[in-house]
Amino acid sequence: MIKLEVDLVEQIPQLRRMSATERAKEKEEINSVVSGKNLLVTGGANGLGSAFVKVFLQHDINKVTIIDVDNVKGQMSASAINKTAGYEKATYIRADVTKHEEMIDAFKKSSEAMDGIDIVINNAGILDERRWEREIAVNINGNVSCALLAIEHMAMDKGGRGGVLINVAQHCNSETSAQLPIYTATKWATIGFSKALGTSHQFEKKGIRIITLCPGLTETALTIDGPNKLLSRVMKADFVKNLEQLPIQTPFAVAKGLMTILCSGEHGSIWVIENGAHPYEACIPEPQALRRTFKDNYAMDQEVQHVKKKLARDNHENTQAPIGLATCG
């Protein structure tokens, strides 16, 4: 039994601490992908975006652009980076991702300031179910705007150097998504959009690797303020209960995981980072693979029973019909 546990710990990297040699090797590998590159992050002033910037800086990136609407935090971050570096290593640009014209301008300024863009993290997003039109605009329109501009600027056939585009979605599981129906829809939109871009070989020809990142529950303002931005009190209560019960990771765990993904993630791949553990690759099956099969009509029978019982229950509740109806199944 003890032997089995030791074997498991050896086989699963997240269950054991890395040795100093392994850490050094990993850092070298990450640096070979990231060092000397120019990074652009939307929503880079807070939360996950800010953690991405900090962890990339540990791996010797050349320059960074933070695009955000939070002027105070955005300018503070850029100034702090420039003070440490002793030169204009970071640029803050105020742009609202929902306004494509502002984004066109921001990408142009960023490219000029950094002399080209190599890695884009399409990260800006909000959770605000009550202002759902704004939520859809930021999470879908903003995401599309940033991705299209990233491709335009990095594509080798348009004078770019090629690069990497990371689209930030969310690890949508049924536990959390039930309280966040609109937010969940926007994040599935990102997965669909990113997967579609990722399966198209023309982007490989452009020299751009497109990867989808799906973080699990992470401790940021988005999560902490979340309960007050939901559609109903019941949803709020369930969401708060989830926050108390489900494991929550730090933004730095996600940023560190992203470094690993950058080393091994292929064009079109989708990655999950949850509970602060090592990233794992996820696959979204094709619809044909999801086709339900029935063995000796067993599943069909079960479904019929389920529907009959539900109908009977609803009917009983609505009309106080005699209990006999419930027995029809």
Cα separation, 42 vs 52, in Å, equals 10
Give just the sign of the alpha carbon dihedral 196, 200, 206, 208. Answer: positive
Contact 228, 286 (CB under 8 A): no
Question: 198-204 long-range contacts, Cβ below 8 Å, gap at least 24?
Answer: 198/267, 198/268, 198/269, 198/270, 199/268, 203/151, 203/267, 204/267
Between 195 and 206, CB nearer to ligand NAD: 195
Q: If DSSP codes are grouped into helix, strand and coil, which group holds residue 65?
A: strand
Cα angle: 267, vertex 271, 272; to 5 degrees: 175
Cβ pair 52, 44 in contact under 8 A:
yes
Is residue 53 within the footprint of ligand NAD (CB under 6 A)? no
Pair type for strands 270-273 and 280-282: antiparallel
Question: Parallel, antiparallel, or unpaired for β 208-215 and 90-94?
Answer: unpaired
155 versus 168: smaller Cβ distance to ligand NAD? 168
Q: Is 55 in the site for ligand NAD (CB under 6 A)?
A: no
Question: Is residue 282 within a helix (H) or strand (E), and if so which, with residue range?
Answer: strand 280-282
Q: Say whether residue 222 binds ligand NAD (CB under 6 A).
A: yes
Nearest distance in Å: CB 190, ligand NAD: 8
Given the complex with ligand NAD, which of 155 and 210 has the nearer CB atom?
A: 210
Binding mask 144-183 for ligand NAD (x = CB under 6 A): ------------------------x-x-------------
Shortest approach of ligand NAD to residue 138 CB, angstroms? 5
Contacting residue, 49, 160, 198, 257, with ligand NAD by CB under 6 A: 49
Using the rule CB under 6 A, give the single segment among 10-18, 120-128, 231-239, 262-270 that binds ligand NAD.
Answer: 120-128
Q: In this structure, how many other beta carbons lie within 10 angstroms of the beta carbon of residue 59?
A: 17
Of the pair 96, 129, the CB lying nearest ligand NAD is at 96
Kindly tell me which residue out of 114, 220, 253, 274 binds ligand NAD, with binding defined by CB under 6 A: 220
Judged by beta carbon, residue 40 or residue 217, the one nearer ligand NAD is 217
Of 68-76, 155-163, 200-208, 317-325: span binding ligand NAD (CB under 6 A): 68-76
| Residues that contact ligand NAD, how many (by CB under 6 A) | 28
By CB under 6 A, residue 140 contacts ligand NAD: no
> Biggest alpha carbon distance in the chain?
81
Query: Toward ligand NAD, which CB reaches closer, 125 or 268?
Result: 125
* Contacts (CB under 6 A) with ligand NAD, residues 249-308: none
Binding window for ligand NAD (CB under 6 A); candidates: 148-156, 195-203, 217-225, 303-311: 217-225
Among 64, 69, 147, 210, binds ligand NAD (CB under 6 A): 69
Q: Can you tell me which of 64, 97, 197, 211 binds ligand NAD, judged by CB under 6 A? A: 97
**Helix, strand, or coil here: 294?**
coil
Q: Is 186 helix (H, G, I), strand (E, B) or coil?
A: helix
Backbone φ and ψ for 46, nearest 5 degrees, come out as: -140, 175
Alpha carbon distance 251, 93 (integer Å) = 22
Q: How far apart are CA 289 and CA 284, in angstroms?
A: 10
221 touching ligand NAD, by CB under 6 A: yes
For ligand NAD, the closer of residues 111 and 139 by Cβ is 139
Write out the residues near ligand NAD by the rule CB under 6 A: 42-43, 45-49, 68-70, 96-98, 123-126, 138, 142, 168, 170, 215, 217-218, 220-223
